[in-house]
Amino acid sequence: MKKIYLLPFLLLCSMATFAQIVNIESLRMNAKDKKLSGIVDLDFAIRKNKAGQTVVIGTDVGAQWNLGRKNRLIFLSGYHLTQFNDTDDPTAPSRNFNNQAFGHFRYNIDLSKTIALEAYSQAQWDEVQEIDIRFLNGAGLRFELLQNDTASFYFGLSYMLEYEETSERPEAITTNEHQRLSTYVSGQLGLNPFLNFNYVLYFQPRPAELEDFRISSNVGLSIRLSRKVNFTTSASLLFDSRPPSTVPKTQYFLSNGIRMDF
């Protein structure tokens, strides 16, 4: 089983399946031995948010360039549509929203066999979550805790600067600039040659105000249909201690889709 590495740097777009925390770990590619590799995800999700239970469709695209034996550059982006009734008029017909998009650049350099330095930038927006725009820039370390033919386990810790504009009301835009820590644990387990289990947990607190934090957890299963096509299913839970007043603190997502590798 090849080692899993992905990485951090900036652009634009946000992902309906993971709301305010973009789950980069779920998009990491296992192709350290290839010069260029990538993925395309097509998914359908049920999402619980401020509009109640909604339907989401979308796509995510990722590419990884191995610049050398120890250096990698990754680009990820996503675009999703959500259909639900207008919360101001629940009787109105359902309508589609281009509610989320994200872009993510990440650079990785191996410091040793088990430690990598990551630097990243990200941009996202999310109409449903009242995020007009959010920019992240950060850097940190990724530790390989376990790696063998059937399982891998990683821990990541980074420091990031966050700028966001939110609009709880159309006439009122709130600007926030924060420093955050971003930590995660992630793992994969190959149950057999056709079935792969994966898990990731994110925790993003503000060091100056620990009561302000976000937690995101995702559990997924991938079933190999062919050499380059997999069926994926996942469940996610997101908690934000201080979202905009119109957005619930806790949300969940149930997603099924197809992943194509190249």
Extents of the domains making up the chain: 9-261
Render each residue's pLDDT in the chain as its tens digit; 262 residues. 333 333 332 222 333 333 446 666 665 655 666 788 888 989 888 776 666 667 788 888 888 888 887 888 888 888 887 766 555 555 555 555 657 888 999 999 999 999 999 999 999 988 777 788 899 999 999 999 998 988 999 999 999 999 998 876 666 778 889 999 999 999 999 989 899 999 999 999 999 899 999 999 999 999 999 989 999 999 989 899 988 777 788 888 888 999 998 8
Rounded to 5°, angle at Cα 119 from 142 and 154 = 15
206 CB burial (10 A radius; 0-12, 13-18, 19+): middle
Phi, psi of 225 (to 5 degrees): -95, -35
CA distance 7 to 117: 9
Tell how strand 36-49 and strand 52-66 pair up.
antiparallel
Can you give the pTM of this predicted structure? 0.79
Assigned CATH topology for domain 9-261: Porin (2.40.160)
Phi, psi of 2 (to 5 degrees): -75, 155
In this predicted model, what pLDDT tens digit does every residue of 148-192 receive, in sequence order? Answer: 988 999 999 999 999 998 876 666 778 889 999 999 999 999 989
Phi, psi of 87 (to 5 degrees): -65, -20
